[in-house]
């Protein structure tokens, strides 16, 4: 087999008389061997001489995925290129029409490569490559070039799984982009590039403390993220970012937005260094073409958060303490504080990628529509009332684009849309070192040079000055627009001739006559900086530095604060930040007793500081915090709600009931979380109560909307004193032994009933079945047709659900077809060995994949065994205790049939003996336990819902065969089981009615009273 370099050289070499078929074969071999990482399907589809399938009997030379390659011996021969393009146009048009998917075409003679796409009925060349040697360089160039083409599927939904797969760190696309950017950075000799990287590092040291390392790899990833976000912003508004007329400069610096009077989305920042290096512009153009594949026009979640998490690896995010909030939780947190009043002003002072802003904007727009506001009033109101700040430069760019996506193309494309500036700012919300020299009484001083460009660990970035009249920053929106338009004019000045005219802007923004001289002088200074190569994105600095400070002034404070503050641990702060933290926290009553550094983080101080700086009196706040803030000693000063400050006077909060989020699975963050809310109320403080709302439930995934999460979550009243880890240890140790059963859903695909088998039966060891249907089915499943088939009997299993469990008795189980053999879950190959099961399961999987929610696992077996909820039952013990997850009363029973599977509507645990099983069943069925647990249930439309593991907050003792009361309780429970077994069950009644029949029989026999008395002796219930 030829070495790849030799293969590449053979492809690039024009050999007179070489057959086209030989070159085609070489190209096919290159596609398969050159590290393009084609999927299995694409490998199989790298075809030669593919029949086009029309009357012409034409054949495509080479085809892979959505790419058609036309091969010629020599494109320099007269007329060959023109004729080949005409042929290629027919192939691409035919494939596009037939497959209902966008195809692209490549024309090559091995040395010259040209890329075409179909524009209407004409092919248009959009890229080309010439292999000129040496072979090592040609090999890499051709490999990269082809890879960027193969990613050509159009209109990809920007859902998390597609973003992870196509743009994430493990994707070939990202790896190539990262390598290209690294090469560009290494080749750069520009001092501007180095300065921008230094400023990036300065901000991140402030944001992340000692955990941040000035890492080239991270700088490159951040550059790629920002460039991607800027391109996505254009695509979301309908700009064709693959159009060569939209230049890389325009994409990265936001020219198209400025032309449409949208400011503050894409602008000069730390990451436009790519334009300053050779090859950078072509990289941006290539990136734009690949991102154009996605349908960014309409999204329902913070899609850029997903992109960030796809590129920055989990270990890196954990190290830096970056935990983005899931959409469902951001939705509910915003709803907690954001009123329907369209005059309310809301700030997220740690906005990250903009998740909270996204939901606040959606809420504002909904109310604006209800109020009948015009497009102009809606957008003017929105951009002056929903504001974000973050110290992370990447997060700020992502949040700005998220802001735009939340507004949506409908309003932005409205003919009546006014000029708008996206109000998301780069700044240090804590303001460790408040700059009194910036906001003076009559002017604003913005430094442009000096020692402040060196990192102090306190977030200071700036030195000497550009000066602005104090009066013109009063209107935030107008000031932002003015600065942006000044920056546009500054960029046009080359140091020769007259300065650009400022008078039109002075008139446009109504600058007072007394302020014209200062503003003009600043404009001329700014132009001189530009001419000397020192226009280091000062327009960007001006907007971002001033606005956070402006928001601290009494007249400009907001009505609501919301967000997820940084959880930066004390021992990861810089030494000077640690000192300021101690000083400022102690001054506000947040440090009481020892520092407890290992247990402290920035979150509680951040909340108090932001309330102090930005929130109007009686304004509302809601922040996500570590759950430790609800109960741990280091947060006691925060929980007091009284935060006296020598600087700000009395700071105090009237706390609401907090949300305990520890019961939500999968885990939201690496450490347990809570949501703390309240009102800034110096005159009516109220400490944070130990009473909480306990959120619990299992979500299909972390990154889901509230709509998709709501049905999976329950909210119950609780007390944090009984849910801290220490107090859980004093609850019941049975808590860790119980787990929920397998997720056997949708039911109609898995649960079956006998079907008529015809005159000859189903055959030995086989059984004909059809889907068991129920009126409880939901869309889309209730709309799907039933399945009917014949399967091997060994794969029809008995299953217990909540509806098959009555007090002290397991009722008749249901039947389900499951791919289980020898106490193992079967894989695809094993299923194929059984004809009946294989045919049935193929239908099941096809129906599942066609109708599952996008957030669900693709493989149904994987979903059934989520967290090993099925495999943990294999093999099953002979004595299991099960209890119902939901309802008005608990029902528990012993299951002695080891052949039965337990569904997720039940919790189960193995018992060490029949006596222990009877003991537990008695306690779980008791009224005494129900009285303690019922208040912890959430209340739905039809009454109480899930019990979950709240039952084990009661300190149920572990069964002891040496304890007489335990033995007696087990004996009476066994009698109850025997009696329950003989109660006549009516299949025509509901399971609730049959449960009542059993309880009535136990009452009539006097067994329930005996059990209640014994349970109250065994379990340490509090006195009532």
420-432 tens-digit pLDDT:
889 998 777 887 7
Q: How confident is the model at residue 935 (pLDDT cuts 50, 70, 90)?
A: low
Burial class (CB in 10 A: 0-12, 13-18, 19+), 416: exposed
Match 């299949």 to its residue by tokens: 987
For the ranges 3-12, 610-619, 850-859, 953-962, which has the lowest average pLDDT? 850-859
How many degrees, rounded to 5, is the angle at CA 557 between CA 555 and CA 558? Answer: 135
Decide: 846 and 718 in contact? Cβ < 8 Å.
no
Buried b or exposed e, range 607-637, using 16+ CB within 10 angstroms: bbbbbbbbbbeebbbbbbbbbbbbbbebbbb
Q: How confident is the model at residue 721 (pLDDT cuts 50, 70, 90)?
A: low
pLDDT of residue 464: 44
Buried b or exposed e, range 57-75, using 16+ CB within 10 angstroms: eeebbbbbbbbbbbbbbeb
Rounded Cα distance, 254 and 484, in Å: 11
For the ranges 127-131, 419-423, 880-884, which has the lowest average pLDDT? 127-131
Higher pLDDT, 698 or 621: 621
Rounded Cα distance, 2 and 11, in Å: 12
Length of the chain equals 1024
Q: What is the pLDDT of residues 981-1023, one digit of tens each?
A: 999 998 888 888 999 999 999 999 999 999 999 999 999 866 5
Average of per-residue pLDDT across 81-85: 92
Q: Measured in whole angstroms, how far is the alpha carbon of residue 774 from the centre of its chain? A: 34
Above 70 in pLDDT, residue 841?
yes
DSSP code string of 146-160 = HHHHH----SB---H
Rounded Cα distance, 873 and 220, in Å: 47
Percent of the chain at pLDDT > 90 equals 36
Q: What pTM was estimated for this model as a whole?
A: 0.55
| Fold entry, domain 4-153 | tt1808, chain A (3.90.1570)
Sequence-ordered list of residues with C-beta below 8 angstroms from that of 639, at least 6 positions apart, any chain: 629, 630, 655, 687, 688
DSSP code string of 824-843 = EE--HHHHTTSHHHHHHHHH
Rounded Cα distance, 937 and 825, in Å: 34
DSSP code string of 545-571 = HHHHHHTTSGGG-EEEEEE-----BGG
Q: How confident is the model at residue 874 (pLDDT cuts 50, 70, 90)?
A: very high
pLDDT of residue 329: 94
Higher pLDDT, 478 or 642: 642
* CATH 3.90.1570.30 location in the chain: 4-153
**Residue 893 phi, psi dihedral angles, 5° rounding:** -155, 165
Higher pLDDT, 806 or 150: 806
Q: How confident is the model at residue 454 (pLDDT cuts 50, 70, 90)?
A: very low
46: left (phi over 0), alpha (psi -120 to 50) or beta: beta
How many helices (H) and strands (E) the chain has is answered by 37, 36
pLDDT of residue 900: 95
Average of per-residue pLDDT across 900-916: 94
For the ranges 539-553, 594-608, 655-669, which has the lowest average pLDDT? 539-553
Above 50 in pLDDT, residue 452?
no
Average of per-residue pLDDT across 743-752: 94
Structure tokens that stand for 537 in this block? 């994105």
Any bridge partners for residue 754, and if so which? 769
pLDDT of residue 939: 40
pLDDT of residue 249: 86
Higher pLDDT, 861 or 436: 861
Q: Which of 277-286, 651-660, 857-866 has the highest mean pLDDT?
A: 651-660
pLDDT of residue 784: 92
Average of per-residue pLDDT across 118-146: 80
Sequence-ordered list of residues with C-beta below 8 angstroms from that of 91, at least 6 positions apart, any chain: 52, 58, 60, 68, 70, 105
pLDDT of residue 967: 95
Q: How confident is the model at residue 456 (pLDDT cuts 50, 70, 90)?
A: very low
pLDDT of residue 940: 37
Rounded Cα distance, 243 and 206, in Å: 39
Rounded Cα distance, 410 and 402, in Å: 15
Buried b or exposed e, range 577-589, using 16+ CB within 10 angstroms: bbebbbebbeebb
pLDDT of residue 838: 94
327 closest CA partner among 169, 558, 159: 159
Above 70 in pLDDT, residue 832?
yes
Q: Measured in whole angstroms, how far is the alpha carbon of residue 961 from the centre of its chain? A: 50
33 closest CA partner among 56, 5, 59, 63: 5
Q: What is the pLDDT of residues 542-569, one digit of tens each?
A: 666 666 777 888 888 999 999 999 887 7
pLDDT of residue 322: 66
pLDDT, averaged across the chain = 83
pLDDT of residue 415: 85
For the ranges 218-222, 227-231, 265-269, 752-756, which has the lowest average pLDDT? 265-269
Helix, coil or strand: residue 1006: coil
pLDDT of residue 41: 55
Give the chain's radius of gyration (CA, Å): 34
Helix axis angle for 393-407 and 355-370, nearest 10°, is: 20
First to last CA, the chain: 85
**Residue 869 phi, psi dihedral angles, 5° rounding:** -70, -20
DSSP code string of 404-461 = HHHH-HHHHT-TT---EE--EEE--TT-TT--TTTB-SSEEEE--SSGGGS--SS---
**Residue 858 phi, psi dihedral angles, 5° rounding:** -70, -35
pLDDT of residue 206: 61
Above 50 in pLDDT, residue 455?
no
Q: How confident is the model at residue 450 (pLDDT cuts 50, 70, 90)?
A: very low
Average of per-residue pLDDT across 576-601: 74
Above 60 in pLDDT, residue 837?
yes
Average of per-residue pLDDT across 7-36: 87
Average of per-residue pLDDT across 269-280: 83
pLDDT of residue 419: 87
Higher pLDDT, 125 or 378: 378
Average of per-residue pLDDT across 354-361: 94
């Amino acid at each position: 087999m030829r070495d790849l370099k030799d293969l590449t050289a053979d492809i690039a070499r024009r050999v007179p008389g070489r057959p086209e078929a030989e070159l085609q074969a070489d190209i096919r071999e290159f596609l398969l061997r050159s590290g393009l990482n084609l999927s299995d399907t694409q490998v199989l589809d790298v075809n030669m001489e593919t029949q086009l399938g029309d009357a012409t009997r034409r054949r495509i030379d080479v085809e892979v995925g959505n790419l058609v390659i036309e091969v010629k011996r020599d494109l320099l021969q007269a007329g060959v290129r023109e004729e080949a393009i005409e042929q290629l146009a027919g192939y691409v048009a035919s494939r596009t029409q037939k497959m209902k998917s966008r195809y692209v075409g490549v024309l090559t003679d091995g040395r010259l490569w040209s890329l075409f796409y179909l524009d209407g009925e004409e092919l248009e060349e959009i890229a080309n490559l010439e292999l000129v040697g040496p072979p090592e360089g040609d090999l890499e160039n051709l490999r990269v070039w082809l890879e960027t083409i193969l990613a050509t599927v159009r209109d990809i939904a920007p859902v998390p799984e597609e973003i992870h797969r196509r743009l994430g760190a493990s994707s070939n696309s990202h790896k190539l982009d990262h390598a290209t950017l690294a090469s560009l950075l290494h080749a750069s000799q520009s001092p501007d590039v180095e300065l921008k990287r230094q400023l990036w590092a300065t901000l991140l040291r402030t944001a992340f403390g000692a955990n941040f390392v000035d890492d080239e790899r991270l700088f490159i990833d951040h550059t790629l993220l920002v460039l991607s976000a800027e391109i996505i912003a254009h695509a979301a508004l309908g700009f064709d970012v693959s159009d060569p007329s939209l230049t890389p400069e325009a994409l990265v610096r936001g020219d198209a937005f400025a032309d449409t009077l949208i400011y503050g989305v894409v602008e000069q920042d730390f990451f436009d260094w790519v334009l300053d290096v050779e090859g950078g512009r072509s990289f941006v153009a290539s990136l734009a073409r690949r991102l154009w594949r996605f349908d960014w026009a309409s999204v329902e979640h913070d899609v850029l958060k997903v992109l960030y998490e796809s590129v920055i690896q989990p270990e890196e995010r954990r190290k830096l303490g970056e935990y983005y909030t899931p959409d469902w939780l951001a939705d509910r947190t915003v709803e907690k504080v954001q009123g329907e009043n369209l005059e309310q002003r809301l700030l997220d002072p740690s906005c990250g990628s903009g998740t909270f802003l996204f939901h606040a904007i959606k809420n504002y727009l909904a109310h604006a529509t209800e109020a009948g506001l015009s497009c102009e009033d809606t957008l003017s109101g929105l951009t002056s009332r929903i504001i974000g700040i973050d110290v992370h430069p990447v997060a700020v760019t992502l949040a700005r684009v998220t802001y735009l996506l939340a507004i949506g193309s409908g309003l932005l494309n409205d003919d009546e849309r006014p000029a708008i500036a996206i109000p998301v700012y780069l700044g240090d919300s804590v303001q460790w070192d408040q700059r009194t020299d910036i906001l003076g009484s009559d002017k604003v001083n913005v430094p442009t040079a000096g020692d402040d460009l060196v990192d102090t660990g306190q977030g200071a970035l700036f030195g000497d000055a550009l000066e602005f009249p104090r009066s013109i920053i009063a209107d935030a929106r107008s000031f932002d627009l003015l600065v942006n338009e000044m920056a546009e004019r500054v960029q046009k000045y080359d140091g020769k001739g007259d300065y650009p005219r400022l008078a039109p802007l002075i008139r446009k923004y109504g600058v007072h006559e007394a302020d014209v001289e200062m503003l003009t002088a600043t404009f001329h200074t700014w132009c001189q900086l530009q001419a000397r190569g020192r226009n280091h994105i000062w327009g960007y600095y001006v907007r971002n530095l001033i606005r956070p400070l402006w928001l601290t002034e009494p007249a400009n404070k907001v009505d609501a604060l919301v967000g997820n503050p940084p959880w930066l641990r004390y021992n990861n702060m810089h030494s000077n930040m640690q000192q300021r933290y101690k000083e400022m926290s102690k001054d506000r009553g947040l440090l009481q007793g020892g520092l407890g550094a290992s247990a402290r983080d920035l979150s509680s101080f951040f909340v108090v500081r932001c309330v102090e700086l930005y929130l109007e009196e009686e304004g509302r706040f809601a922040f996500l915090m570590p759950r430790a803030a609800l109960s741990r000693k280091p947060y006691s000063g925060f929980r007091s709600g009284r935060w006296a400050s020598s600087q700000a006077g009395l700071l105090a909060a009237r706390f609401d009931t907090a949300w305990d989020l520890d019961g939500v699975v999968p885990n939201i963050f690496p450490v347990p979380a809570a949501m703390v809310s309240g009102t800034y109320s110096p005159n009516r403080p109220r400490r944070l109560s130990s009473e909480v709302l306990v959120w619990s439930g299992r979500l299909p995934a972390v990154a889901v909307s509230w709509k998709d999460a709501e049905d999976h979550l329950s909210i119950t009243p609780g007390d944090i004193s009984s849910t801290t880890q220490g107090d859980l240890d004093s609850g019941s140790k049975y808590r860790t032994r119980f787990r929920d059963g397998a997720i056997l859903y949708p039911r109609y695909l898995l649960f079956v009933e006998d079907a008529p088998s015809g005159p000859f039966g189903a055959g030995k060891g086989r059984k004909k079945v059809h889907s068991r249907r129920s009126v409880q089915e939901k869309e889309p499943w209730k709309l799907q047709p039933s399945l009917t088939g014949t399967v091997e009997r060994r794969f029809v299993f008995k299953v217990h659900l909540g509806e098959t469990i009555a007090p002290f008795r397991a009722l008749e189980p249901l039947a389900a077809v499951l791919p289980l053999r020898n106490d193992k879950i079967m894989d695809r190959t094993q299923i194929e060995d059984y004809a009946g099961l294989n045919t049935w399961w193929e239908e099941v999987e096809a129906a599942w994949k066609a109708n599952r929610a996008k957030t669900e696992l693709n493989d149904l077996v994987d979903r059934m065994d989520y967290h090993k909820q099925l495999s943990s039952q294999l093999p099953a013990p002979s004595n299991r205790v099960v209890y119902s997850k939901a309802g008005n009363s608990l029902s528990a029973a012993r299951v002695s049939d080891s052949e039965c599977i337990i569904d997720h509507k039940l919790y189960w645990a193995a018992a060490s003996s029949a006596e222990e099983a009877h003991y537990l069943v008695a306690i779980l069925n008791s009224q005494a336990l129900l009285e303690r647990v019922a208040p912890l249930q959430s209340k739905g439309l039809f009454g109480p819902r899930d019990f979950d593991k709240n039952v084990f907050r009661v300190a149920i003792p572990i069964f002891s065969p040496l304890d007489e009361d335990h033995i007696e309780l087990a004996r009476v429970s066994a009698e109850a089981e025997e009696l329950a077994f003989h109660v006549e069950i009516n299949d025509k009644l509901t399971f609730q009615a049959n449960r009542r029949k059993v309880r009535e029989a136990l009452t009539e026999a006097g067994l329930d009273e005996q059990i209640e008395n014994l349970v109250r002796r065994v379990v340490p219930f509090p006195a009532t």
